[in-house]
Structure 1
Amino acid sequence: MLFRSICVVLTAALSMASAVGQAAPAEGGPAYGPRLEGFDYPAPVKRFPFESQGNALEMAYLDVAPKQPNGQVAVLLHGKNFCAATWEGTIAALTGAGYRVIAPDQIGFCKSSKPQAYQYSFQQLAYNTHALLTSLGIEQAIVIGHSTGGMLATRYALMYPKAVSRLVMINPIGLEDWKAKGVPPMTVDQWFAREKQTTAERIRAYERSTYYAGLWRADYEPWVQMLAGMYRGPGRDLVAWNSALLYDMIYTQPVVYEFGQLRPWTLLLIGQKDTTAIAKDTAPPEVRARLGNYPELGRVTAKAIPRATLVEFPDAGHAPQIQDPDALHKALLDWLASSEPPRTRRPD
């Protein structure tokens, strides 16, 4: 009864916020449903139904088998502005090398459920992911996380150390505590107001400068439209609301203080032109200038993690698996094939 009352209050608050918030500028392009209905994935989408926090939820995921299995499983954890589909090239590289690949959409993202009332935490998402893998009979896996997925991969490895054979993080965020460094806090309502302004133009401009080091190619555009399409569709407010809750989780739950507790062999793949820092645009100029220094952050993190290998990509931004897939996948597969990985190296 209490939970139902809370849901009613939150629903009313969401409706009110939707009514008073400014509408996003009109633009052309595809419109997708709140669970990314209408956008095709590179493999059949499967569903994992479960209950959490009083909600009946579904986690969408890809389960892609290799033609010549090597007996190992790789789990791919996407970033905040990414989905299981954006791992398309990495899935092909891993399955081509014999790995079975599981790529979920986390709750609140893409083709998975977007509840109106959910307390997002990295431990909750890690628990959900572990439940999915348990349902598939997977006891141990290589865990690969990108961006926000790197924060989730860290939490997963801390919670389930025996379930992680190796840990890989591609330009993870959470390598610094933005609040402690001076980024002003925002309420969920403030995050929601920001998210309601999402358009393809804004996504593209941000990704060009941060993900791809100021460059743009035609093959980046489908991922812009994937995100923007949900904000053009009938579930725009629900998508923006869940995004606001997720940003609050990312900002308030740093993992940087726990890297020393990680036990698996860990690979850090870091594009050196990345400047990502959550909400740094709200910080004073002197604070903003100190944030998102990935060359420094990557090296500090590699020293903090007990068994870490750092590979740097000099010309890549936040998403080297998309910007420079050949170099990234070679570094990844070489490291996975090594019996005792080197401490640090740069790609040839």
Structure 2
Amino acid sequence: MKFKNLKYLFLLCLSLTMTAQDLSQLKPLDAELTAVSYPFPVTFKIIKNQGQDLKMAYMEAKPNNPNGKTIVLLHGKNFNAYYFEQTARRLQQEGFRVIMPDQIGFGKSSKPKQYQFSFQQLAENTKSILDDLKINKFLLLGHSMGGMLATKIAVMYPESIEKLILVNPIGLEDYRKFSPYQNVDKQYAAELKNTYQSYKDYQLKFYYDGKWKPEYDPWLNLLAGWTISEDFPITAWNAALTSDMIYTQPVVDDFEKITTPTLLIIGTRDRTAIGKANAPKELQPLMGLYQNLGKETQKKIKNSKLVELENVGHSPHIEVFDRFIKPLLEFVKITNLT
């Protein structure tokens, strides 16, 4: 018994030491990540809407040997465009021009105090960047929340989208059927409680199956750095507003409206679901079942293909890049989807 207690104390001390080492690398980050250098040139577009002038950041990776195609990468809620670096470099090598926006409320873009977030508004903002760049036709990839946005863009601008790729998108189910509504004030209070450790625990559980690797640190630190910054109240407020958007604006009815050739890349271990913690306990196990949701969604989207990645979580392009990039490249290079 004494030995077991000593062993427990040793493991506890080791855990605390590792946490302290992790936290020692964490630096406070301002709301627009001005101290963070992105891997590709960043341009800022002034977005004029809702009575405000807002800055929307985007990266552009130009290929040395262009194939004449452009692909737009849309980030998830807990991320920004930076985490597409490896994907963008590979697509760049294949001749693609790659555009990676930070949506309003994310990354280096403005964090407004008041803003009516909607997927339609974010779609218009994104399209305006492409219009400025004279890009009329493009391929579109969305991960997580970016998958919901990509779905909306595909429905709003079908003539512009050559191919659509959805990578573990959230919104494959209507969360309102499972979880009661939490107003923005409650969402904000919850966001303000987040810390480095709470973000890491969440990502360990839903993204990486409890196995952390050093290459995950940059994406965690970009998020957690806000929690120790004086700008945390405004970044947390924007996080609450976008959570409200995701919950109140489901896209499940949009899938059958998609006419663009579509690839679904689904890590089947994923269990991500908005509002799961607030759902009745008996319903929580029924949420975020991606091994089922991928198949159900593929049936709704005409001219679509499903690639399931077994034992992979929410972020395949980070967790298992080689398994993710192979079907992606095969899809973007073919001329017809069969």
Instruction: Tell me if both proteins adopt one fold, taking TM over 0.5 as the criterion.
Output: yes
Hey, what does 1:277 align to over in structure 2? 273
Name the amino acid aligned to 2:102. D
Determine the C-alpha separation between the residues in 2 that align with 1:304 and 1:86.
Answer: 29
| 1:49 is aligned to 2:46 | yes
Determine the C-alpha separation between the residues in 1 that align with 2:315 and 2:260.
Answer: 23
Hey, what does 1:171 align to over in structure 2? 168
Hey, what does 1:345 align to over in structure 2? none
Name the amino acid aligned to 1:185. Y
The structure 2 residue matched to 1:326, chosen from 317, 322, 327, is: 322
Please show how residues 1-348 of structure 1 align to structure 2 within 5 Å: 29-180=26-177, 182-342=178-338
Name the amino acid aligned to 1:133. L
CA 1:28–1:334: 2 relative to 1, 3 Å: closer
Give deviations 1:133-189, integer Å, cap 9, x for gaps.
101111110010000000000000100011101000000000000112x20110000
Name the amino acid aligned to 2:96. Y
Determine the C-alpha separation between the residues in 1 that align with 2:25 and 2:335.
Answer: 51
Any idea what SS the aligned residue of 1:129 has?
helix
Name the amino acid aligned to 2:302. P
Any idea what SS the aligned residue of 1:162 has?
coil
**Runs of 4+ in structure 1 displaced over 4 angstroms?**
none
Determine the C-alpha separation between the residues in 2 that align with 1:177 and 1:279.
Answer: 11
The number of equivalent residue pairs is 316
Report the TM-score, using the length of structure 2 for normalisation: 0.92
Deviation of the 1:220 alpha carbon: 0.3
Hey, what does 2:12 align to over in structure 1? none
Determine the C-alpha separation between the residues in 1 that align with 2:163 and 2:337.
Answer: 11
Deviation of the 1:328 alpha carbon: 0.6
Hey, what does 1:23 align to over in structure 2? none
Give deviations 1:41-60, integer Å, cap 9, x for gaps.
11121111121100101110
Determine the C-alpha separation between the residues in 1 that align with 2:193 and 2:33.
Answer: 18
Deviation of the 1:27 alpha carbon: 8.3
Determine the C-alpha separation between the residues in 1 that align with 2:36 and 2:281.
Answer: 39
Deviation of the 1:213 alpha carbon: 2.2
Name the amino acid aligned to 2:91. L
Determine the C-alpha separation between the residues in 2 that align with 1:32 and 1:322.
Answer: 22
Give deviations 1:35-78, integer Å, cap 9, x for gaps.
11212211121111121100101110001101110000000000
Percent identity between matched residues is 44
Name the amino acid aligned to 2:27. P
Report the TM-score, using the length of structure 1 for normalisation: 0.89
Deviation of the 1:327 alpha carbon: 1.2
Any idea what SS the aligned residue of 1:165 has?
strand
- RMSD between superposed Cα atoms in Å: 1.1
Name the amino acid aligned to 1:126. A
Give deviations 1:225-246, integer Å, cap 9, x for gaps.
1001122112110000111000
Determine the C-alpha separation between the residues in 1 that align with 2:307 and 2:130.
Answer: 28
Name the amino acid aligned to 1:301. T
Segments of structure 1 that go 5 or more residues without pairing to the other structure are 1-25, 343-348
